[in-house]
Copies of this chain bind each other. A is one copy, B any other.
Amino acid sequence: MSLITGTDPRTGRPLPFQVSPSTTADVAEVCETAHGAGARFAGLPRDRRAALLDAIAEGVEAERAQLVATASAETGFGQVKLDSELVRAAFQFRFFADVVREGGFLEAAIDHASSTPMGPRPDLRRMLVPIGPVAVFGSSNFPFAFSVLGGDTASALAGGNAVVVKAHDSHPHTSLLSHAILQERLGEHAPSCGIVFGHHAGVDLVANPRIRAVGFTGSLDGGRALLKVIDGRDEPIPFYGELSSLNPVFVTPDAAATRAQEIGEAYAASMTVGSGQLCTKPGLVAVPKGADGDALVAVTAGALARHETHVLLNHGIYASYQAMTDELESTRGVRTLVKGTSDGSPGYGVGTRLFEVDVADLSDAHAHEIFGPASVVVRYEPRALPEAFSAVLDAVPANLTVTLQVAEGDAAPLGPLTRIASGYAGRIIFNGFPTGVAVSWAQTHGGPWPSTNSLHTSVGATAIRRFLRPVTFQDCPADYLPAELIDDADVIPRRIDGELTLPRSVSRDRRAATARC
């Protein structure tokens, strides 16, 4: 097999770092090691597990300079984006350390023995336990925050799971450096966290019987291919794919009338941050017909026309951007508003693109997510807002986000629009833009297929739930219960005989921990 080589997207030329793709035997060994080490890691007390997550965060920060420089060379992203992404990766480990210390994620419940209409009920004590080794697929576009050091790894480790990461081919050196930090900081638990390289290794990984769940951030095609591998397993396992999203933005007539300049500029900025290679990039904006909407679209077009070349991550994304924007340009009903060109330097540089289409002409053809600085403006009749809103959401696949740009005292039926939107996405945004996903307790980064599998977020505290399963202990002597399920262990939130109870002893500590976020 040929070596995996990073490429400098600014020049298209190979970088000196190379790594061998993992063989089928390598993958089997890494999975077996992770499985073997996983039981001890799963058995760690919560405070010890939290301390390891904090240590990883420190390790990430300690290696900032080398990580950022390496990732910049391999991805073409600038210092600002990578620096903030690294801050996010470190924050995420510390955040999950707090989640682990707080303990609510265990969903602990105790039903003492009692009598019921169905007769006597035994003593039942439930909590969540790790599901087993988790396969994590690094993404191309977030070399830190959604890769080896990303949220899937952090939430899986936080849940007490061994992890095997499949490094993304676009940044093998960054991945290896990242994995070295995990190894160093996990110390004696380092065998709980493996890494594999190469396309075939990813397939072997998902097929491996030791693997019990998959976290994947990538393309719809890639996700479908892995789902097929899962379909062929003896034991099906959950696939948490974050796959594809257009993240539509709707501008009400009142919003266009009052904030055309602001919205037009902010839209251009949001759709091009990270060169338009974010899963939350708005790929579609619905703007009312008429002078207000025209003004807004002109602002966006003007801003995009002033952009310099955007360097894309790798040749695949570059080629796909060219092909998909060319196809869109020649689609019936589509008007090209901006056709930026690259500066002609070698590498994966492209120009911005902005298209326009009437809502009546909107179809599947406009509904594909395009990685890169391109977007579609959909024009609708101002008087037809509720119908136009539903028409757009029905025409495009489901999404991570739906955004509403509204005005003070807006005349649009915002209540119904909000309810409609929540059927099509996992996050409904008012007067903001979808790019930028805060890591917090109330976050949802997920939505109906194909954005994700609907049921869980992949960002924020509750992402940990993906990698846990419930176990109930019936009439279990206290000596053999997990610490959190013993009557006297008043240290985490627990549901006792149906009533949610908060621990007295830790409420002060927890407030301090929360404040730190």
B104 touches A428 (CB 8 A): no
Q: Are B517 and A122 in contact (CB under 8 A)?
A: no
Count A-side interface residues using an 8 Å CB cutoff: 88
Q: How far is the CA of A377 from the CA of B286 in the complex (A)?
A: 68
User: Which residues of chain B are within 8 angstroms of A107 by Cβ–Cβ distance?
Assistant: 462
Interface residue A473 (Cβ < 8 Å from any Cβ of B): yes
Query: How far is it, in angstroms, between the C-alpha of A43 and the C-alpha of B438 when the chains are bound?
Result: 28
- Distance to closest chain B CB from A333 (angstroms): 25
Instruction: Say yes or no: A116 contacts B131, CB within 8 Å.
Output: no
Determine if A84 is an interface residue (Cβ-Cβ < 8 Å).
yes
- Secondary structure of the A contact surface, majority rule: mixed
Is A511 positioned at the interface, with any CB of B under 8 Å from its CB? Answer: yes
Report whether A470 and B498 are in contact in the complex, using a CB–CB cutoff of 8 Å. Answer: no
Q: Are B104 and A91 in contact (CB under 8 A)?
A: no
Residue A11 at the chain B interface, CB threshold 8 Å: no
* A426 CB contacts on chain B under 8 angstroms: 469-472
A477 to B, closest residue via Cβ: B430
Contact mask for chain A residues 74-93; partner B; CB cutoff 8 A; 1 contact, 0 none: 00000000001001100100
Q: Please give the residue numbers on chain A whose beta carbons come within 8 Å of chain B beta carbons, in ascending order.
A: 39, 43, 84, 87-88, 91, 98, 102, 104, 107, 109-111, 116-119, 121-122, 124-126, 129, 131, 212, 227-228, 231, 235-238, 414-415, 418-419, 422-423, 425-432, 438-444, 446, 448-450, 453-457, 461-462, 468-477, 479-480, 493, 495, 497-500, 502, 510-511, 513-514, 517
The 8 closest A-B pairs by CB, nearest first: A498-B514, A444-B472, A109-B442, A126-B442, A124-B442, A111-B442, A235-B449, A418-B480
With A235-B450, A430-B473 known, 10 other A-B pairs at CB within 8 A are A104-B495, A109-B442, A111-B438, A122-B429, A238-B454, A428-B476, A432-B475, A441-B497, A444-B470, A499-B514
